[in-house]
Amino acid sequence: MFALRTTLAATAIACVTLNGFAIAGDMKHGEQAGHSMDKMDMVEHQAGDLMLKAPFARATLPNQPVAGAFLTITNMGEDDDVLISVSTPVAERGEVHEMAMEGDTMKMRPLADGLVIPAGETVELKPGGYHLMFMKLQEPLVEGEMVEATLEFQNAGSVTLPFSIQGKSAKAMDHSGHGS
């Protein structure tokens, strides 16, 4: 089980910044399979049957304790896989979160059993939906830099990827819908 030591308030602050953001046309890069770590705008990795596309994390304010991170995962295999966990050197731990309605409000919560990536399907981790969350950041995430994170899959095993750190969208400061 996940130990939620970060306060709900702090967690909620980070999550609202995830709204209203769009990946700006990067999806057409990196059509070929395999790693191409030499390109900074590389956006596609293959790990076993999984294609991992467009990993990015959100830049944070100096005292912001948590950061959201996102990518798109396609399972080209014939068996479901499960994203079990995430970790990164810049945070005490990582979690896999979902957004879910509780009464009238949308809240995020850890996926205790991981995130299923069904065979033949694509699961998009994106602002307002499934996401990775880096908890207890040891340093701010600076726009334009990269941060590494390791995803642990049930079948594909562990995959370390660079996440490009992207800035906040100016219209993302809507604090509604994420109260504790």
State the residues that interact with Cu ion by CB under 5 A: 15, 97, 108, 133
- 168 contacts 142 by C-beta, under 8 angstroms: no
Nearer to Cu ion, 90 or 108 (CB): 108
Minimal distance, residue 52 CB to Cu ion, in Å? 19
Report the C-alpha gap between 60 and 151 in whole angstroms: 21
Give me the residue whose beta carbon is nearest to Cu ion.
Answer: 97
Nearer to Cu ion, 83 or 108 (CB): 108
Minimal distance, residue 11 CB to Cu ion, in Å? 6
Nearer to Cu ion, 133 or 156 (CB): 133
Report the C-alpha gap between 148 and 163 in whole angstroms: 6
- 25 contacts 19 by C-beta, under 8 angstroms: no
Strand, coil or helix: what is 144? Answer: coil
Minimal distance, residue 36 CB to Cu ion, in Å? 29
